[in-house]
Each structure stands twice: as C-alpha cells, then as structure tokens.
Amino acid sequence: MAYVGQPVPTTVYGLGGGRISDGKTVKVTVPENTTIEAGKFYLLNGFLGCAMQSVTAGAGETAQVVLNIEPAEYETDQINTLETFAAGSKIYWDDVNKRFTNTPTGNRFAGIVTVAKDANNVIWFWFAPQQPAIVQAAAVADVTSADADATYDAGEVALINEIKTKLNTLLANLRAAGILAS
C-alpha cells in the first residue's frame, strides 16, 4: 500500500470497484401481474434460479426479486410428476408450465438429477451454471446422399463422401449433447 515517504514509487489501483455481488445471486425484474414464491424456480430476464423471497407485482407495476443462480445441489417438487426423474438424468426447465421436465425439446437445460424422484414427487438435482438459453433444435436428418454425378472425378467424390461423414458425425454429437432432437 502506498504511503507518504514510501521509498519506491507506487501506484494504487482500486480492485473490485465495479463489483456488485459474488455472482451467486442476481436481482431481476418481476413483470406485472406476477407472483413469485420464495424457494420456487423461475426464468426471469434470461436467468433461471431459485427465488430468495416472495414478491407480487400488481397490474401496471413491476417489482424486483433476487434469484439464487449458484451451481449447487437443490431439492424441489417443482417437476412434471408424470415423468420419471432417475438419478443421473438431465433435467430441463419448461417455462410454459413453470416446472422441471425430462423433455429437452423446446426447454432449457437446467442440470442433472442426483437423487431420483421419491414418493412425495421430490428430486434433488445439481443446478448447472447459467448459460445463454440453449433450446433444443428440431431434428435434422443425416446426409444420406451426395449429388455426385458423372462430372466429378474420383478425388471429388471421395471429398464429398468425407464431408458427408464428418457432417453426420457432427449431427450425431449435437444429438448426444441434447442440442438437436433425435
């Protein structure tokens, strides 16, 4: 730290001057005509997290709520009770029904089940780090034919087949990652 009479010239820089929080929570806007219940999960302003307090925004007004977005293990009954939530399975946020689901298509990846659904329809899950919303795209068929006609020589046909193989491998990897539907 710099002080008067310091024998070495020193410049002091303030660290963390713009830091607001540790990144485990985020304050978001609650839209009008919305009730938020503490301990429940919500997708607000692009953040999926667990509400830290209950808030009600009436007609023509908005409110603020703090969401816990920390990657950690959570317990919830906010699930599609008709589905099986096996330990190790991926879960997704269904924003239409405001609950977790096993269905990736059209839903946001949320984490991985650590303790399977019990008789009370409660699961434990590891909540994944926040990412830009990745919604699973519709199915894309493998490339089964390349339009190689008589004008292509053997080298060009081999290149077309190599590209087809690499493209199909990429499609398979995107399906395995849950980005493309099967």
Please name the residues in contact with 43: beta carbons below 8 A apart, sequence gap of 6 or more.
93, 95, 108
Domains in the chain, number:
3
* 58 three-state secondary structure: coil
What pTM value is reported for the model?
0.66
pLDDT value of position 87: 98
Same domain, 60 and 81: no
pLDDT value of position 13: 60
* 43 three-state secondary structure: strand
* 166 three-state secondary structure: helix
Q: Which whole-number Å values give the CA distances from 80 to 61, 116, 182, in the listed order?
A: 31, 13, 22
Same domain, 125 and 170: no
What is the amino acid identity at position 73?
A: E
Placement of tokens 């009479």 in the chain = 5
Query: Which residue numbers in the chain have pLDDT < 50?
Result: none
Say if strands 47-51 and 123-127 run parallel, antiparallel, or are unpaired. Answer: unpaired
Same domain, 98 and 161: no
pLDDT value of position 105: 81
Cα separation, 112 vs 85, in Å, equals: 9
What are the backbone angles phi and psi of residue 25, rounded to the nearest 5°? -135, 160
Same domain, 24 and 87: no
Same domain, 122 and 150: no
Locate 132 and state its tokens: 């830009």
pLDDT value of position 148: 57
Same domain, 130 and 151: no
Structural domain that includes position 157: 137-182
Same domain, 144 and 127: no
Locate 47 and state its tokens: 């953040």
pLDDT value of position 2: 57
Same domain, 66 and 103: no
Nearest by Cα to 101 from 129, 80, 73: 80
Same domain, 101 and 144: no
Same domain, 61 and 76: no
pLDDT value of position 16: 56
